[in-house]
Amino acid sequence: MTGLSHWLNLIRFKAYADLKSESTKTYVGIFWWVLDPLLYMTVMYVVFAVLLEKRTPDFVAFLLVGLVYFRWFSATVGNCAFSILGGKALMQQVYLPKIIFPVVVILINLIKFLIILSLLLVFLWLQGHRASSAYLALPALMMIQFVMVCGTSFIVAGLVPLLPDLKHIVDNIVLALLFLSGIFYSGRDLPLDKQQLLYLNPMARLIEGYRDILIDGRTPDAAFFVYPALVAIVLLLIGTTIVVALNRQYPMLVRKV
């Protein structure tokens, strides 16, 4: 227990130090954590709502819910890709479980996401989408996504030291998922066969659920999320296995990169 407490303290300290260091790299400091995703979402809004004239009812809220939750996934996975490689200097000085590196990145991105989510909720409430009893289902969906984020991040972080070029493949997969997760359209508007194809992507199911809760005030069907939950657990098991299995080999692998 003492050892676990030591590593947890290290994770908290490193996450705090990295957040503080990151906030000093720009003139606007921590406000960039909000400004960056807002600029990203503004670009998406201009393209799909203004230029392409998407007619989905309440499209701003519809788009923002999808983008905020998807960006949590994409930003975390992308930032975790080089997390173990980035710990090269530290791991060659002292021993520590290498899984700590992606865990720190996951924690940092979770904090940023919660800040953005808070602003999103305020926006939705001001737009008339009040909190309802459906919010009770929100933690369950977010826990499924958190497990999925962890699993995917561990897989990417664990394999990139072996195959550094994998980061470019991951970037393209994440970009494809941006358009295959129902962010700019509702899966329910698609023909049944296309819906079944779309919902093979667990993020598409989660985003539908978030919209049900936050925009429509409706509790989604729990059975609809059994599949994403199973995928998340499998990803977590695979990712953890990879990082733990290669734990002692990473110091040698990162020297070659």
Listed by start position, the domains of the chain span 2-255
Q: What is the pLDDT of residue 88?
A: 82
> Per-residue b/e over 157-191, b at no fewer than 16 CB within 10 Å?
bbbbbeebeeeeebeeebeebbeebbbbbbbeeee
Residue with token string 């550094």: 164
Q: What is the per-residue pLDDT across 50-62, written as a single tens digit (0 to 9) for each?
A: 655 665 668 888 9
Q: What is the per-residue pLDDT across 116-165, written as a single tens digit (0 to 9) for each?
A: 898 889 888 988 888 999 999 999 999 999 999 999 999 999 999 998 88
Spatial neighbors of 246 by CB under 8 A, at least 6 apart, are: 98, 158, 161, 162, 253
| Stated pTM of the model | 0.88
How confident is the model over 214-231, as a mean pLDDT? 94
Q: What is the pLDDT of residue 193?
A: 87
Does 226 score more than 80 pLDDT?
A: yes
Q: What is the pLDDT of residue 242?
A: 95
Q: What is the pLDDT of residue 248?
A: 87
**CA distance linking residue 46 with residue 246, whole number of Å:** 44
Q: What is the per-residue pLDDT across 179-192, written as a single tens digit (0 to 9) for each?
A: 899 888 888 888 98
Does 208 score more than 90 pLDDT?
A: yes
Mean pLDDT rounded to a whole number for the chain: 85
Q: What is the per-residue pLDDT across 95-106, written as a single tens digit (0 to 9) for each?
A: 888 999 999 999
**CA distance linking residue 4 with residue 7, whole number of Å:** 5
